[in-house]
Amino acid sequence: MKGWRTLFPNAWHIAVREYRARARTRSFVVGTGLLALVAFAATQLPVLIDYSITTSQTRIAVVVEAAGMPSDSLSVLDGQLNGPAGDPNTHKAFVLSWLPGGDVAATQKDLEKGKYDALLIVARDPATNDLGFTLRTDTPQDGPAVSSIVDALLSLEIDDRLFRAGTSTGALTAPFALTIGPTNAASAGTNSISHEVSTNLLSTGLIMLIFMAIITYGQWVAMSVAEEKGSRVMELMLNATTPLQMLAGKVIGNGAAGLTQYGIILAAVVGGLLAQGQIHKAVVGTSTGTPFGGMDPTVLAAFVVLFVLGFLMYSLLYAALGSLVSRQEDVQSAASPLTMLVMAGYFMSILGLQAIDDSWVKIASFVPFFSPYLMLARVSAGHVEMWEFGLSALVLLISVGVALFVAARIYSAGVLLYGQRVSLRQVFLAARVSR
Amino acid sequence: MSLIIDSVSKRFGDVQALEEVSLEIKPGEVFGLLGANGAGKTTAMRIVLDILRPDSGTIAWNGRFNTDLPRETWGYLPEERGLYAKMNVLEQLVLFAKLHGVRGKVAEREARGWLERFRIPEYADRRAEQLSKGNQQKIQFIAAILHDPQVLLMDEPFTGLDPVNVALLKEAFLEIKERGKTLIFSTHQMETVEELCESIAIVDRGRVVVSGSVRDVRRSGGRQMVRLAVEGDPEMAWLAELDGVRVTRRGQDYTEMQVPSGHDPEVVLHAALERGLKVTHFEIADPSLEQIFIEHVGQIDTTERTLAPKVPA
């Protein structure tokens, strides 16, 4: 194959053409814009959630009929419902109207008018001298608001009983010595729930990025091959270039178009996360923690290596399968065996994330078709040796070479075969006789 | 110093597409490849271009095998015409030229020049899908020649063009020939061949039946044609008495007959004069290419013999 020697500049010319042809389509422009918008919106989800929490408040009128309540009753109730006083970042979910000796009938009217969401009547049982409560509200009785109130009432009851026994909650809950720390200095910083969640989310996200890229942009490559064949422009191209140049150009051009789309979406995500604090402040009035907390540079480096190699291998094979059909409508079915493999790898990695130390995960992380996903899963879980990653990447690199050779063979034979459906046997026969 | 196709054979499954095909095409020549559909013309071209590899045999141009030649040696107008539908005309012309190593600026200038010559300069910025079939064909022709190839191979270049465009294309042919380039084209239109070609080959079922200069091929049948018209004797029954003469066509204007080589065609004229007839038309000619073609290939065959491996429809 003389194409090996003269891959460039022709592969480059083809790549530029492919890139432009792809980036100019309406579906690319609209799709990229929409995805970027959705991605940006997704990053603002926490703001939205916080905002909806902020705007929801339960207003409670507390009519106190009971006599001899401890003087800190209101602050105990408020502290239980809204958290410790004095924290400006804490949102007040409950607004209390403390009405000692209040008029139940009048407050009931206010409740009915919607001035309050709940009416709480505090009375004292003459027999036991304990506090008794009546709560009237249309807030869901099995909802979080009511259960919070019930919890708070228990505290109020205990506070009252302690007061009557001559002591106070304050004395009982005075601070005591407590130290919590990691196993040792090395594991420091990894023992929070938020860290574990963000690591898991990140690796799931990165694996999904690889999956989406291969399945979407790989099919672009197959489509563009079938399109050339269908429009017969292939015959002009065949004299101008070699199959290898065409393959390389298509994979590079479509890959670059895909990366452009990814880049734009990623920029929207990063921009969204960076702006999240500001927007949160503007909308909710408080700021949030720093983004990218769980991001590990080794995971990102592994992602880039596996993404590039995995994409190259799969899209070369997609190109080969695309060359077997003459119409774009047939691309899906021709590519389905490969698409199955892509999906299989993805689902394996989802399962594998739950069982990262199982031997099947380890084995599959060296198998070319699955390693882009599973090795990434293992790397992000942090349970992998350097040599293991190196070996997996090397196997993948060799597979890219094999895929290039096989794809060039199938491609150079496939592009000259026209018909509804070309069998692999015909391709095999044709591949032996063409260059 | 010529294009030498040496005993090339090619088989697709159970179809022998080419069998021991040998041809020599001189540089600067216009060469016609004649054959029925499925005779092997397209396969032969693809093999010359090294798009397909032969099972045996070699191709050499000016002493170098085609496998060692740079692709820009060749220009190719395939029979199945196609362009990038959504790409604008000038852009794709420049792309094809660039793929053959022409610099972008030069390619653009040349492309505009050719569009001008084909009287379609306004199409430079249109998308290919907006052009008529005939105009697309002209664009494809330009794409094939923009890099100034030494050898131009064209598969049925005139098919689908109206007479004005056929004339434009013929002009372009002659200009390319004047630049010293070699042109090879396949066709089954005999008139075009007689008008343009210096040499031809007739191909049938993968074999070269006859090849050489147009004159030699026309004489290859080993006979000459005589056309005779006389006053007062439309039947000319006496022609049957002449040795070797066979009447091939009787018409109002003249009667045409074959005279085998070794016989003097003037015998016919003498015989007419001896009978005291007044000769109004006497003509000695070589058989037309069409006659030679039919003689070698049989009736121009309407059933297509597919060469590519059979695929279920």
pLDDT tens, B163-178?
999 999 999 989 999 9
Q: Residue B312 has what pLDDT?
A: 44
Q: Which residues have CB under 8 Å from A17's CB, separation 6+?
A: A249, A253, B84, B87, B95
Q: A93 with A78: CB under 8 angstroms?
A: no
For position B265, which CATH number holds? 3.30.70
**B236 in the same domain as B150:** no
* Residue whose C-alpha is closest to residue B40's, from B60, B4, B11: B11
Residue A325 in contact with partner chain B when CB distance is under 8 A: no
For chain B, say whether A17 makes contact (Cβ under 8 Å). Answer: yes
Residues A37 and A102 in one domain: no
- If asked whether residues A8 and A29 sit together in one domain, one would say yes
User: In terms of CA atoms, which chain A residue is nearest residue B11?
Assistant: A433
pLDDT at residue A187, as a whole number = 62
Of B53, B67, B100, the CB nearest to A240: B100
Give the rounded percent of residues in chain B with a pLDDT score beyond 90. 38
Contact B99 A426 (CB under 8 A): no
Please list every residue in chain B whose beta carbon sits closer than 8 Å to the beta carbon of residue A236. 76, 78, 82-83, 96, 140, 143-144
Residue B128 located in a structural domain: yes
B85 part of contact set with chain A, CB < 8 Å: yes
Are B251 and B206 members of one domain?
A: no
- Among B171, B186, B218, the domain-final residue is B218
Cβ neighbors of A144 (< 8 A, separation 6 or more) are none
Q: Is residue A135 part of a domain?
A: yes
Q: Tell me: do B230 and B203 sit in the same domain.
A: no
Output the pLDDT for position A148: 86
ipTM passes above 0.85? no
> Does residue A370 share a domain with residue A236?
yes
Interface membership of A417 toward B (CB under 8 Å) = yes
**Nearest CA-CA distance, residue A403 and chain B, Å:** 21
| Cβ atoms of residues B210 and B292 within 8 Å | yes
Domain count, chain B: 2
Question: b/e per residue, B153-170, with b = 16+ CB within 10 A?
Answer: bbbbbbeebeeebbebbe
On whether both B214 and B238 belong to a single domain, the answer is no
Alpha carbon B90 to chain centroid, angstroms: 29
Best residue of A6, A13, A223, A236 to probe chain B, by most B CBs closer than 10 Å: A236
Q: Are residues B188 and B264 in the same domain?
A: no
Asked if residue B313 belongs to a domain, the reply is no
Instruction: Enter the pTM of the model.
Output: 0.73
- Find the CATH number of the domain harbouring A113: 3.40.190.10
Residues A250 and A117 in one domain: no
Residues B273, B166 share a domain: no
State whether residue B99 sits within 8 Å of chain A by CB.
yes
- Any domain includes A362: yes
Residue carrying the six token digits 């010319």: A13
Q: Do both A99 and A153 map to the same domain?
A: yes
A297 and A401 both lie in a single domain: yes
Same domain, B195 and B69: yes
Question: Confidence class of residue B159 from pLDDT cuts 50, 70 and 90?
Answer: confident
Give the pLDDT of residue B308. Answer: 46
On whether the CB atoms of residues A123 and A66 are closer than 8 A, the answer is: yes
A427: nearest CA partner in chain B? B309
Contact criterion met (CB < 8 Å) for A13 and B308: no
A14 reaches B (C-beta below 8 A): yes
**Would you say residue A201 lies in a domain?**
yes
Q: What is the pLDDT of residues B88-135, one digit of tens each?
A: 999 999 999 999 989 989 999 999 999 999 989 999 999 998 998 889
> Which chain B residue is nearest to residue A21, measuring alpha carbons?
B87
A128 and A165 housed in the same domain: yes
Same domain, B101 and B52: yes
Same domain, B259 and B153: no
Of B53, B99, B100, the CB nearest to A434: B53
Are A160 and A204 in the same domain? no
Do B212 and B176 lie in one domain? The reply is yes
Domain boundary residue, one of A138, A172, A206: A172
> Consecutive 10-residue runs of chain A (435 residues): their mean pLDDT?
64 91 89 89 77 77 86 83 66 82 87 90 88 88 85 88 80 75 66 60 81 88 87 84 88 90 86 78 65 65 89 92 84 88 90 84 90 88 85 94 88 72 64 51
Q: Which residues of B touch A433 (CB under 8 A)?
A: 10, 12, 52-53, 55
If phi > 0 it is left, if psi is from -120 to 50 it is alpha, else beta; for residue B57 that is left
Distances (CA, A) of A378 to A65, A308, A356: 63, 18, 6
pLDDT recorded at residue A430:
61
In this complex, the residue of B82, B86, B308 whose CB is nearest that of residue A236 is B82
Q: Within an 8 Å CB–CB cutoff, is residue B14 touching chain A?
A: no
Q: Within this chain, do residues A213 and A167 fall inside the same structural domain, yes or no? A: no
pLDDT at position A190 is 57
Give contacts of A417 with chain B, Cβ < 8 Å. Answer: 308-309, 311
Q: What is the dihedral of CA A425, A426, A429, A431, to 10 degrees?
A: -110
Nearest to B80 among A232, A242, A420 (CB): A232
Residue-by-residue DSSP string for A206-274: HHHHHHHHHHHHHHHHHHHHHHHHHTTHHHHHHHHS-HHHHHHHHHHHHHHHHHHHHHHHHHHHHHHHH
Do B201 and B257 belong together in one domain? no
Q: Residues A282, A184: contact at Cβ < 8 Å? A: no
Closest residue, chain A, to B96 (C-alpha):
A240
Contact B71 A239 (CB under 8 A): yes
Taking the CA of residue A404 and the nearest CA in chain B, the distance in Å comes to 19
Partner B contacted by A429 (CB < 8 A): yes
CB pairs < 8 Å spanning A and B: 95
As given in the structure block, the two tokens for residue A344 are: 């299989």
| Mutation for A interface: B98, B102, B154, most A CBs within 10 A | B98
Mean pLDDT across B146-168: 91
Smallest CA–CA separation between A432 and chain B, in Å?
9
Which domain, by its residues, includes B166? 3-218
CA nearest to A302, candidates A401, A404, A392, A395: A392
In this prediction, residue B177 carries a pLDDT of 92
Minimal Cα–Cα distance from A329 to chain B, Å?
Answer: 16
Please indicate, yes or no, whether residues A148 and A222 belong to a single structural domain of this protein: no
Domain membership of residue A185 (yes or no) is: no
A161 inside 8 A of chain B by CB: no
From the list B75, B78, B309, which residue is nearest A430 (CB)? Answer: B309
Looking at the structure, tell me whether residues B211 and B254 fall in a common domain: no
Distance CA A88, CA A103 (A): 33
Residue B4 confidence (pLDDT): 93
Q: Which residues make Cβ contacts (< 8 Å) with residue A402, sequence separation at least 6?
A: none
Q: Contact B42/B31 with Cβ under 8 angstroms?
A: no
Residues 6+ apart with CB under 8 A from B59: B3, B4, B5, B6, B8, B47, B48, B50, B65, B66
Same domain? A330 vs A212: yes
Contact criterion met (CB < 8 Å) for B309 and A426: yes
Residue B76 contacts A where some CB pair is shorter than 8 Å = yes
Compute the half-sphere exposure of residue B231: CA atoms within 13 Å on the CB side of its CA. Answer: 4
User: For residue B133, what pLDDT is reported?
Assistant: 87
| Neighboring chain A residues of B51 at a CB cutoff of 8 Å | 238-239, 416, 434-435
Query: What is the domain extent for residue A203?
Result: 2-43+193-433
Residue B294 inside a domain? The answer is no
Under an 8 A CB cutoff, do B143 and A236 touch? Answer: yes
pLDDT computed for residue B306 by the predictor: 47
Amino acid (one-letter) located at B227: R
Domain count of the fold of chain A: 2
Please judge whether A231 and B13 are an interchain contact, meaning their C-beta atoms are less than 8 angstroms apart: no
pLDDT for B313:
37
Same domain, A27 and A145: no
Kindly report the CATH number assigned to the domain that includes residue B122: 3.40.50.300
Residue B310 domain flag:
no
CB of A430 less than 8 A from some CB of B: yes
Tell if the CB–CB gap between B52 and A434 is shorter than 8 Å. Answer: yes
Whether residue A236 and residue B96 make contact (CB cut-off 8 A), yes or no, is: yes
Q: What is the largest CA-CA distance in chain A?
A: 105
State which of B161, B189, B218 marks the end of a domain: B218
Please give the radius of gyration of chain A, using alpha carbons only, rounded to the nearest integer: 33
A433 and B CB contact within 8 Å: yes
Chain A residues 238-267 with CB within 8 Å of chain B: 238-242
